[in-house]
Amino acid sequence: MPSFLYSQFLVRPPYPKGSLDGQTILITGANVGLGKEAARHVVRLGAARVILGVRNVKAGEEAKKDIEASTNRAGVCEVWEIDLASYKSVLAFGERISTLPRLDSAILNAAVATRNLELVEGYERTITVNVISTLLLGLILLPKLKETKVNFPSTIPHLTFVVSEVHGWVEFKEWKEDKVLKLLSDKDRANMNERYPLSKLLEVLVVHELASRVRGSEVVVNMLNPGLCHSSLAREGDWKFAVFKFVLARSTEVGSRTLVAGILNGTEAHGAYMNDGYVDGEGMSPFVRSAEGAKARAKVWSEVTSILEGVRPGILQNI
């Protein structure tokens, strides 16, 4: 909590600078909030093609118009539909990605936060969207990112995951049990009050493992914490959380700077956890960095990738 308050009150992430000239950038969850403002920065920095991955196409088209009008760069943004609650949708999105001439970086920002337990694709929706489908999409994107590095050697492809510092605010006692994700999806066992933080802990674990398996010279895999920001993510929160956000939250634009920082660094950021737009060697929670955390990471990775092999056999070969 002290580090959280320090960042929220005393640290202002730097305004994104640099050049993305000629690059193709993908941002999911880009019709609102952090994703939309990150897309605005990316367009401003000269990207040639910016793919807005959205569930709500109408809202995506409105975001496209707003971004292009504010940056005076018409015809740069494209709205592509993707619903992380559907494996079929993610796979179809991946097929479209495979047709691109290049993909320089992807910011996987789409997520859900809810206290209502609903099963999609056999698992609780937050787990499916924030963990299983997010890793599925990341693995699908890897071949195109690697290909881009081969065909455009000067680029540094990035696969960047938006996580959260709240991953360190929750216990994960269930990791030692069998079929952890099924357990977390059991309506009689699930603690939905802490579901979002737990989903982000699971995401940190699988991204940490993924980065250890990918060569940073081919694709930089990293993750970032944008801090508490004004966005639509926690629209199901109660009045207490609304007050909490009013007092502490960063503006959406300031928070979005951290997303763009995730793709502007070099290979030194491979496998890194970023806070406030900078690599933070101690940003991952003590549990994640512990021996117990390493065991949990291996177990969660095994379970999630087993699910993904069922969705698309051979997908681990993309690594």
Instruction: Pull the structure tokens for residue 150.
Output: 């081969």
Helix (H) or strand (E) holding 209: helix 195-213
Amino acid code (one letter) for 92: A
Integer CA distances (angstroms), 126 to 29, 63, 194, in order = 15, 25, 11
Return the C-alpha torsion angle 27, 31, 36, 42, nearest 10. Answer: 40
- Distance, in Å, from the CA atom of 88 to the CA atom of 283, rounded to the nearest integer, reads 34
**C-alpha triplet 99, 207, 191: angle, nearest 5°:** 115
Given 87, 149, 200, 273, which residue is catalytic? 200
Place of tokens 């059991």: 186
Strand order in the sheet with 49-54: 77-81, 49-54, 24-28, 105-108, 158-162, 220-225, 273-275, 278-279
Three-state DSSP state, 288: coil
Place of tokens 């006692």: 173
Three-state DSSP state, 123: strand
- Annotation marks residue 87 as catalytic: no
- Annotation marks residue 196 as catalytic: yes
Q: Give me the phi and psi of 110, to 5 degrees please.
A: -60, 135
The residue among 260, 262, 231 whose CA lies nearest residue 39 is 260
Given 87, 123, 144, 196, which residue is catalytic? 196
Residues identified as active-site: 196, 200
